[in-house]
Amino acid sequence: MNGGPVGRIVGVGRALGSRVVTNKDLESVLDTTDDWISTRTGILERRFVGQDETCATLAIEAARNAIEHAGIDGDSIDLVVCGTSTAPESMPSVACLVGESVGAVGVGAMDLAAACSGFSYAASVATAMIQSGQAGRVLLIGADAMSTIVDQSDRSTAVLFGDGAGAVVLDAGDGESGFVDHILGADGRGAPLGRAGQPGDPNKLYQNGREVFKFAVRILPEMFEKLLSRNDLTPDDVQYVIPHQANARIIRSAAKKMDIPEERIVINLDRFGNTSAASIPLSFPDIYDGMERGRYVVTVGFGFGLTWAANLYRI
């Protein structure tokens, strides 16, 4: 990005599926154990949508919470952008439903699908719209209800995913705080490593866990180092790293390569599982009050596609 920081975060919110599903719960229906799941993934429990809940209802709740936290009215929002791959229907978009529900009627609203990289992709679009002058305040959301597309009898994937939504309100800002830089990438040659929602088998998610692991451990520190290098920063300038919450072993391996102490790595997968595009914004409520002006937050994510993305945010 050119110029100063764009898109200051002034409000954060999140929402989770109402059903708490522990590893012990999964022991009773799958050939697995609490110890195996927690050791291999770091996940202790996850949240699934309940009756009458969808990705859209979670996005609406998270958006309302962010708006309330920001102390603004919904009709002051100029644009709604939602990163998601699990909209309950093809049309209308989740973003349209959110806009109507929070009072942002008549403004632009769009969904963006980049799998687990969806929020970081959407953040790039949101800040570009602010930078161009087309929006002064953006409601930015990452939301997914992964339980709706996972085969719950497949132990290789059913233990991994959860449902949630995270939202932030972005203002044009003061020129001192906001997003500074973004990395977006994709490579369709990696499509065989992970697929979901295939015609004729919509409730089957497949991933090649071993190859995705190797890709993630490589791409996360690559993006981190690239962001710091081209912005003349060091790891000491970074207060928090928010990685996509896919697997604790991936996060630990990447953290070592990034030379970032574990206490500065934000983790929520132990409570929420892999919530896809929601995993990064779900982290902001945990760190918002402790963020120190002048320091940085780096988000790094990857997803089916293959996609990858990272954001550099100046507090």
User: Is residue 12 classed exposed, middle or buried when 0-12, 13-18 and 19+ CB atoms within 10 A define those classes?
Assistant: buried
For 191, the 3-state DSSP assignment is helix
Respond yes or no on whether the N-terminal peptide bond of residue 227 is cis (omega within 30° of 0): no
Q: How far apart are CA 241 and CA 263, in angstroms?
A: 10
Contacts for 32 with CB less than 8 Å, ≥ 6 apart? 23, 26, 155, 159
Q: Average pLDDT of the chain?
A: 95
Is residue 289 very low, low, confident or very high in pLDDT (cuts 50, 70, 90)? very high
Q: For residue 174, what pLDDT is reported?
A: 82
What percentage of the chain has pLDDT greater than the value 70? 97
Is residue 200 very low, low, confident or very high in pLDDT (cuts 50, 70, 90)? low
pLDDT tops 90 at residue 3: no
Is residue 2 very low, low, confident or very high in pLDDT (cuts 50, 70, 90)? low
Indicate which residue of 65, 96, 116, 311 is catalytic.
116
- Superfamily name and number for 1-315: Thiolase/Chalcone synthase (3.40.47.10)
Q: How far apart are CA 170 and CA 187, in angstroms?
A: 29
User: What average pLDDT does range 260-270 have in this prediction?
Assistant: 95
Is residue 55 very low, low, confident or very high in pLDDT (cuts 50, 70, 90)? very high
CA angle 159, 161, 166 (to 5 degrees): 150
Look up 55 and say whether it is catalytic.
no
Instruction: Please identify which residue in the block is written with the tokens 């002058």.
Output: 133
Cβ atoms of 300 and 224 within 8 Å: the answer is yes
Residues in the chain: 315
Q: For residue 218, what pLDDT is reported?
A: 96
Of residues 299 and 153, more confidence is placed in 299
Q: For residue 134, what pLDDT is reported?
A: 96
Q: How far apart are CA 271 and CA 46, in angstroms?
A: 6
Q: How far apart are CA 137 and CA 259, in angstroms?
A: 35
Cβ atoms of 255 and 265 within 8 Å: the answer is yes
Record the pTM: 0.94
Look up 182 and say whether it is catalytic.
no
pLDDT tops 90 at residue 155: no
Indicate which residue of 23, 55, 65, 244 is catalytic.
244
Q: For residue 65, what pLDDT is reported?
A: 98
Indicate which residue of 65, 247, 274, 311 is catalytic.
274
Cβ atoms of 139 and 9 within 8 Å: the answer is no
Q: Report pLDDT digits (tens) over 58-108.
A: 999 999 999 999 999 999 999 999 999 999 999 999 999 999 999 999 999
Q: How far apart are CA 269 and CA 152, in angstroms?
A: 18
Q: How far apart are CA 124 and CA 183, in angstroms?
A: 8
Look up 274 and say whether it is catalytic.
yes
User: What average pLDDT does range 177-195 have in this prediction?
Assistant: 95
